[in-house]
Amino acid sequence: MNKKKLIIILTVFITGFTYSQNEKKVDEFRNQGYFNITKFGYINVTEAKLETYSPTDGVVVTDLPLDKAQAYSLQTINGYFFSPYFSAGLGIGLDGYHNPNFNTLPIFLDLRVYFNDGISSPYLFTDYGTLAKIENGKNNGTIFNIGIGYKLPLNKKRFTIVTDLSYSYKTISNDGLSIRKSESWTQIKGIMLSLGIIL
């Protein structure tokens, strides 16, 4: 067997082996049908502002102190893969903020775009929704998150973890009215790091 034939055979074998391995890495369970993501997050607050409106002075903005300003978040998202590369879901969560101290209950639409349909894949995501009224109706508002993440298998038993880093933005009414009608609201911005599982 001459060198040319040997090279051709080796090339075909390596190509076939690589294709086979890639086929095995396709995430048959995580990138199709319904799914649930439950994750825990930490938010480092980078900006907090109190804004009030009066007919005489207009909107007055006051910077709030950021000493140890942070929040802990718990979210669960139920969604559906419309393709191996795109999913949409509805999420609900609970955020506990410290300095300033308050809680929010976000209900949001979650959209995700996966770079590939492999068992491990980076992704982009965004969340947009509302903050439900809790604590005597004072903490309704809006939520917006955008970020990047990565999903990877923890073992061979269909147990996959997701971790992501995102920009977190909330506008919170301080008087119980909707954001459009409110005369006092708080804007909270921060960086969120989260870890969870997808089932």
pTM of the model: 0.80
Query: For the segment 128-155, what is each residue's pLDDT rounded down to a tens digit?
Result: 999 987 766 557 899 999 999 999 887 7
| 85 DSSP 8-state letter | T
Strands 58-63 and 70-83: unpaired
Confidence of residue 101 (pLDDT cuts 50, 70, 90): confident
Show the domains of the chain with their CATH numbers: 28-198 (2.40.160)
* Least confident interval from 10-14, 31-35, 192-196: 10-14
Strands 121-132 and 102-114: antiparallel
Query: For the segment 40-56, what is each residue's pLDDT rounded down to a tens digit?
Result: 999 999 999 988 888 88
Longest Cα separation, the chain = 93
Q: What percent of the chain has pLDDT over 90?
A: 49
Distance (Å) of CA 133 to CA 53, 139, 161, 175: 21, 5, 31, 11
Query: For the segment 52-93, what is each residue's pLDDT rounded down to a tens digit?
Result: 888 888 888 888 888 889 999 999 999 999 998 999 999 999
Q: What is the residue-averaged pLDDT of the chain?
A: 83
